[in-house]
Structure 1
Amino acid sequence: MEKPQYIDWIVEETGIVIKDDIPLKCYKIDYKDDESILDDWALHIRRNYIEDTELKEDADDNAMTIEQYLYDYVIPQKGEELGATVRSADITEILISDLLEFVHQYSVPRYKLKNRSGKNNSQQGTDVIAYKYKNEDKTSNDKDELVAAEVKATLSNTEYTPIKNAIIDSRKDEHRLARSVNYCRKRLKELGKIEEAEEVKRFLFKPDNNYRITYVAAGVSSRENVDDAIELDFSGEELEIRKNELIFYVHGKKLMELAHNIYQRCCK
């Protein structure tokens, strides 16, 4: 995907840790009241749901304007049952996908939000899958990397709880990752993204085609500023961080209000 302009609003904050000096990759969304960047962000969000090439044809097939088709069939709406919850979940998964792709230079398949059976129906499985090939020609190398990210968000409050919840639920990815990768491959083929599907296929067979797996636990909430040492209500095994696990925290002021502002622009 094209790099959205809002990425320049994401500022990394170094030196932030959680309990027992566990390192944290911390980022602040330092956004401004810039109409053009907010509109560009909304367009980027919309393209995660439906491609430009499909939109007019789908609207015409349903005898609707593009705006009405997006409103009725594609974009979660604030006043609908689960609409606000789905907006929160979707925008944060897109945010972490963008962070991995445009800041950390991974390839991130965009498949989960496209052609859902209902616009407020969430897809099960690993929240975000990303990968990186060691070789430029994308031949297999044991330093190739697969990323499985668990994303948790509470955009309507300032708690650190999503970090804890993401760490705990990230452990599920060890059991569901293979199924999620296979589903990703099949969905990409259905969407006509054949080359991308072949790239993902490389990560189906770890015993025969070795690569590294990195688990990412990503929490997002609406804090304008964070503490240098974040206290979480952890104990015992809950606090055990795997050596191949990274913890992300993304924060910013009034993120639910920001999400609604952006989503209102998605039906243009």
Structure 2
Amino acid sequence: MLDSAAAVTTACGQAVKIYDFSYELGDAVTISAWAKHFRNHYCDDNEIDSLCVPMNISRKEYLETYKFPVRKALQKGQKTGPATRAGDFAEILVSDFLTYRLQYWVPKVRYAFKINPNSSDQGSDVVGMRLVQLGAEKDELIVYEVKAKFTGSPVNRLQDAVDHSDKDKYRLAESLNAIRQRLKYTGNSAESEKVIRFQNPDDNPYPLRYGAAAVVAQTVFDVNKLALTSTLMHKNRDKLDLMIIHGPDMMNIVHHLYEKAADEA
């Protein structure tokens, strides 16, 4: 659950929305439903048998081997597996926030097509679309850069998100093309056609917003560091939303969800 707890103004005068993230591991029904939702970002339940049966492996083994980032580094000094777990979780959390709180349409096709489960997918992290009326100028698109930090010492991950968000204007067209193709490949032709609305802004303009989000554990949450965030170098700072989500023992819920998603497949 996300609850708006406070707000802070950065050194450059930008408002940052701060949300408290809470969860209850004892709520088995909710956690199970969440795990299924989480799993389906990577592989639809209706497709998993067609993928794992030919290899003579279980659904759990398939997910843990080919879809989910590993819990522990595969080699000494390697951090991509656990770091990717944290990053994927943070992106999914923000995409769900845009979907259920802000009523954007965020296609769930980003993670199912990764070749290496322990690496982050290229392109914009979260792309949300709002279609008021297909082709209307009130239609809107928002693109979020998301950074996570669940262990270690406090650092300003919001600044990292702001800096990387400034690159979205270059990779957005590629991301929209990838989303459209992936929707077509998964049989969602009607939804794929909706993406066309946002692929030619010169001839069919629409409002475009940017977002930068930091998803962090309570132990590394430092509001004073985050308040130092500067957006002065962001070329679209007047269209930039800032958000922080923080909660307790975040890696614990991350690992728990991955494990439950695999166990209950």
Task: Give the alignment's TM-score, normalised by structure 2.
Answer: 0.89
Q: Is the 8 A contact 2:157 2:214 kept in 1?
A: yes
Secondary structure class of the residue paired with 1:15: strand
Matched, 1:120 2:113: no
How far residue 57 of structure 1 moved from its aligned partner, in angstroms, is: 1.8
Give the SS at the match of 1:114.
coil
* d(CA) in 2 for partners of 1:214, 1:236: 14
Could you tell me the TM-score, scaled by structure 1's length?
0.88
2:16 aligned with 1:18: no
1:65-86: CA deviation from partner (whole Å, max 9, x where unpaired):
2122222222222124322111
Partner of 1:156: 151
What residue number does 1:4 align with? Answer: none
Change (3 A) 1:231 1:128: closer
Mapped contact 1:16–1:229 kept (Cα < 8 A): no
State how 1:111-150 maps to structure 2 within 5 Å.
111-135=109-133, 139-150=134-145
Check conservation: 1:225, 1:252, Cα contact below 8 A: no
Match of 2:77 in 1: none
Correspondence for 2:103 = 105
Offset at residue 17 of structure 1 (A): 2.8
The Cα of 1:229 is off from its aligned counterpart by: 6.5
| Equivalent residue, structure 1, for 2:54 | 61
Instruction: Kindly provide the CA deviation profile for residues 153-200 of structure 1, in whole angstroms up to 9, marking residues without a partner as x.
Output: 111146351111111111001111112111211121112111111111
After TM superposition, give the deviation of residue 25 of structure 1 in Å. 2.0
Which piece of structure 1 moves more, 158-167 or 86-95?
158-167
Post-superposition CA distance 1:122-147 (Å, at most 9, x none): 21111111100122xxx211111011
Deviation at 1:40, TM superposition (A): 2.2
Query: In the alignment, what sits opposite 1:5?
Result: none
**Who is 2:44 aligned against?**
51
Deviates more, 1:122-131 or 1:224-233: 224-233
CA distance in 2, matches of 1:76, 1:213: 32
SS at match of 2:46: helix
Unaligned stretches of 5+ in structure 1? 1-8
Residue identity in the other structure for 1:174: K
Query: Aligned AA for 2:70?
Result: Q
The 8 Å contact of residues 158 and 222 in structure 1, kept in 2 or not, is answered as no
Contact 2:60 2:262 in 1 (8 A): yes
Q: CA deviation at 1:48?
A: 0.3
- 2:93 and 2:69 map into 1 onto residues whose CA distance is 17
Question: Residues 261 and 227 (structure 1 numbering): CA distance in 2 closer, same or farther, change over 3 Å?
Answer: same
Between stretches 11-20 and 110-119, larger displacement belongs to 11-20
Q: Gapped runs of 5+ residues in structure 2?
A: 75-79
- 2:211 is aligned with what amino acid? V
**Aligned with 1:78 (options 63, 66, 71):** 71
Computed over aligned residues only, the root mean square deviation of the Cα atoms, in angstroms, reads 2.2
